[in-house]
Amino acid sequence: MNKVVFAGAILLLGLFFHSCKTKETNTKTLMFVGSFTDKKPGEGIYVYEFDDENGKAELKSTVDSLTNSSFLELSPNGKYIYSVLDAQMPYNGKVGAFEIDAENAKLNLLNIQDCGGLNPAHLEVSKSGKLLVNSNYSDGSLSLFKIKENGTLEAYSQVLHFKDSSLIKSRQEASHIHSANFSPDGNYVFAHDLGADKIRGFSLLNTEDSLALTNQKDIKTKLGSGPRHFSFHPNGKFGYLANELSGRVDVYQYIKGDLVFVEDNLSYGQQQDIYRTADIHISPDGKFLYVSNRGPEEDTITVFKINEDNGKLTLVERVDTGGKHPRNFAIHPSGKYLLVANMFTDNIVVFKRDQDAGKLTKLDEEIKVKTPSSVQIRTYKHY
């Protein structure tokens, strides 16, 4: 090799490594934390930069003057984040839309809309990023929104109210819609009624002139179950329901707008007088299911292995969350970490995930934040 060719090769190699370094530098993971603010305006949303190498997090910004911004939902493209506002207040709650400034790790308020009911508890954005469904717990209602191209919310298109009850009179004296999900094909919506022991299914009518939930079909769960949160499998064939009051996870097969019961599994490791199963998520590779249990005697994350042929679950382990009342948790987009928001102990605990076995290992450092109730996490490759 002559000197000119050798020098050229060295130059190209240098440019290659510089390109890789630049690309790596332009990758940033942000963690968004929603919280309860003691029913008065305060710092409701926290934005952290998360270190993908060691699991540490650094607070970058907060959003002030929010009341009980207790649940967050990212848009599929990661450009926007939506928050319930005025949860658990004696008047109608709201939904706020924020634009994410990934470069500066902060949020910019776009607009706020009335949610049409009391105590908004959950939001989900459609895969298209054009629709949002909001669940109101206290008055058992469900509201549907269109999202504009710039991420702002239109006024709600529809509000549905439900009247029903079930077995446990202290918790099921009336309808309580705790969450709702768009189906994998985007043609249906399923709302989970803790108060009525029902999953309420709807066809989604979405045209240029009309947006509405129609053709209601109720799917009954076991009495005293208390349906709370639900997660569809990435393959679109199965769905998993976390039942708060029975402490059990229901497995369903999803077939063209219908949910067919397969089996249920106890999430808790020990019998409780009161069960408080809360959140449920599936690993990005679809191999494992994670569920949080919020006391009174057990604060754990339960890990199940998923049979991807029939959807059934096999227990892997239960792990203490390192705090009290794990209301919500999130899995890192890479699947490398799981982050648990322990609401009553003001801490977020980071676990390293064994992606082959599904098991969790608690890291030493934790993130201190007041009454964390919702976690969302996203990696931005270019910002």
| All domains in the chain, ordered by first residue | 28-380 (2.130.10.10)
Write down the pLDDT at residue 173: 98
Closest CA to 243 of 141, 143, 172: 172
Write down the pLDDT at residue 18: 43
Write down the pLDDT at residue 208: 84
> CA torsion 120→326→191→152, rounded to 10°?
50
pLDDT beneath 70, residues of the chain? 1-25, 383
Please name the residue that has the structure tokens 């054009």: 130
Write down the pLDDT at residue 2: 53
Question: pLDDT tens, 333-342?
Answer: 999 999 999 9
Instruction: Give percent of the chain with pLDDT exceeding 90.
Output: 91
Radius of gyration over every alpha carbon of the chain, rounded to an integer in angstroms = 22
The Cβ of residue 186 has, within 10 Å, a number of other Cβ atoms equal to: 14
Tell me, rounded to whole angstroms, the distance of Cα 115 from its chain centroid.
Answer: 19
Write down the pLDDT at residue 383: 63
Q: Encoding tokens for residue 377? A: 């996490």
Which residues lie across from 232 on neighbouring strands? 239
Write down the pLDDT at residue 9: 46
